[in-house]
Amino acid sequence: MTRRRLTLLGATGSIGDSTLDVVARHPDRFEVIALAAHRNAAKLLDLCRRHRPQVAALYDAERAGELARALAAESIATRVVAGQAGLCEVASLPEVDTVLAAIVGAAGLPSTLAAARSGKRILLANKEALVIGGALFIEAVEAGGATLLPIDSEHNAVYQCLPSPYARDPGAAGIRRILLTASGGPFFARSDVDFDRVTPDEACAHPNWSMGRKISVDSATMMNKGLEVIEAHWLFGADAQRIEVVIHPQSIVHSLVEYVDGSVLAQLGHPDMRTPIAQALAAPERIASGVPGLELAQLAQLTFAKPDRERFPCLDLAYEALRADAGAPIALNAANEVAVAAFLSGRARFSDIARACSVVLARRGVTRIAGLDDALAADAEARGIACAELGVPLHPGVSLAA
């Protein structure tokens, strides 16, 4: 049995909660060395009380100072670091072998790259690292000798259905198609929705999964699934023609892999992130996750449908970006982050999200991505176009360049 020493990037989010739940069930297998978050100092303080990490990191420097003072007042010997440099430091600590990368959005890319360059075992829940980083991230993984394990339920399901070892070559492995399932979010089954009048609370009311507000909105627009298509391309070496999306409202079948002989392998389970997290934490072994067993006889039905691309145009925007140039996925992700932030703050309509993303893809100029500086430029350019289109202040959220 291997004892793993962990850094959790995004410890205060829903993925962090699920990971720490699994870790707490196996104290003999896992030790938390570092915890990192964006700005939730109060929750990170509570986690430090419970897990006593060696290091805690907060992106927000002011909140990091508050955390350091609070820890000192309670005589907790956790060292506090701040900013993007602090996140990168805890991602590459020499005593850490496994890094869970779950910082939402573009802000998670630099620290995830740091983990890759340091040769860590990366449990990837931040899809933006691949959507934005693309070839840069895969090259960093290979150059650093890192191991990449997907945590998104769909990609983890695909991973479990692939032959081992798998060399990111679907043709050589006899793979015909990768099918990513999507719940459809809160609006797929409702034909009466006026997308101009959807409220943030309605968009965040996911029928199956408990997630943060940004990813919940992405699920409602189906942008989340579009970004997962781009992520699958980089994870599994599959081109756009081999990756399909199928609506599966019950969220029991998490994804499927079809082989050229007609076999279709699928991974099934309750919609609970603890399952893919436990699989990746312990791989190639299996450990209890706390998720109850699946009783097939109790399932009323499993249904599947094609996505409605007219009502949910963000899915096609993602395919368009994947088929374009290296700058397109970066621009799409940046525009989406700006638009979702504007919608959640009441400054934009739900329907404005797809519109702003389409405008950015049409107007952007940065297409060639030779390094991180080019990615930063594409990200910044797209945010500027999106903010101008929506009439909101520049960079309302955390950008890649911050």
DSSP state of 2: P
> Taking residues 294-299, what's their average pLDDT?
88
pLDDT at 106: 74
Q: Is the pLDDT of residue 148 over 60?
A: yes
pLDDT at 209: 62
* Share above pLDDT 90 across residues of the chain, in percent, rounded to a whole number: 81
In this structure, are residues 269 and 254 in contact, taking their beta carbons and an 8 Å threshold?
A: yes
pLDDT at 128: 79
Fold adopted by 324-390: Rna Polymerase Sigma Factor; Chain: A (1.10.1740)
Burial-class residue 60 by CB neighbours within 10 Å (0-12, 13-18, 19+).
Answer: middle
The matching CATH number, chosen from 3.40.50.720, 3.90.1420.10, 3.40.50.970, 3.40.1010.20, for 4-151 is: 3.40.50.720
Domain with CATH 3.40.50.720 in the chain: 4-151
pLDDT tens digits, one per residue of 349-387: 999 999 999 999 999 999 999 988 899 899 999 999 999
Please, which pLDDT band fits residue 395 given cuts at 50, 70 and 90? low
pTM summary value: 0.91
Q: How far is CA 315 from CA 16, 102, 115, 163, 266, in A?
A: 27, 22, 30, 28, 22
In this structure, are residues 91 and 117 in contact, taking their beta carbons and an 8 Å threshold?
A: no
Q: How far is CA 246 from CA 217, 224, 250, in A?
A: 19, 13, 12
pLDDT at 210: 62
pLDDT tens digits, one per residue of 237-285: 999 999 999 999 999 999 999 999 999 999 999 999 999 999 999 999 9
Count how many residues are written for the chain: 402
